[in-house]
């Protein structure tokens, strides 16, 4: 029985967006602090319905042979049974960052 090829789902954040991608090769890079992702898998279903986030993901990674993703941006890596639909979504951090204000500092004592 032939061994099935592993499929990995990688979820990471970049520029206030959360990426969910599928690939068949993933490993720790020789570049310290990065993982390498190769052989991207995109859903090749032929259908009338087009998912804009999946199309954006396909265009962003078109022509990319290998991607180096900083480890500190990785949220999760799963080995899955079958490929899902990759997507890009807005991170909650972007929404929260618009509501952040600096912490008030206590008044400094005057030197009299």
Q: pLDDT, tens digit, for every residue of 64-74?
A: 889 999 999 99
Across the chain, what does the average pLDDT equal?
A: 81
| Among candidate residues 28, 24, 58, the one with its CA nearest the CA of residue 38 | 24
Q: pLDDT, tens digit, for every residue of 28-82?
A: 999 999 999 999 888 766 555 666 777 888 888 888 889 999 999 999 999 998 8
Please give the sequence-ordered ranges of beta strands (E in DSSP) within 1-112, or none if there are none: 7-14, 17-28, 34-41, 66-70, 74-80, 87-90
With 0-12 / 13-18 / 19 or more C-beta atoms within 10 angstroms meaning exposed / middle / buried, residue 24 is middle
The pLDDT of residue 47 is 57
d(CA 102, CA 112): 29
């Amino acid at each position: 029985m032939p061994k099935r090829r592993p499929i990995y789902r990688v979820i990471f954040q970049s520029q206030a967006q959360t990426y969910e991608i599928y690939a068949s090769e993933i490993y720790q890079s020789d570049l310290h602090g990065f993982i390498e992702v190769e052989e991207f898998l995109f859903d090749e279903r032929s259908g009338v319905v087009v998912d804009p986030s999946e199309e954006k993901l396909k265009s962003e990674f078109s022509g990319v042979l290998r991607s180096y993703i900083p480890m500190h941006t990785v949220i999760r890596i799963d080995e899955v049974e079958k490929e899902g639909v990759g997507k890009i979504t807005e991170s909650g951090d972007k929404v929260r960052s618009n509501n952040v204000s600096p912490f008030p500092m206590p008044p400094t004592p005057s030197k009299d």
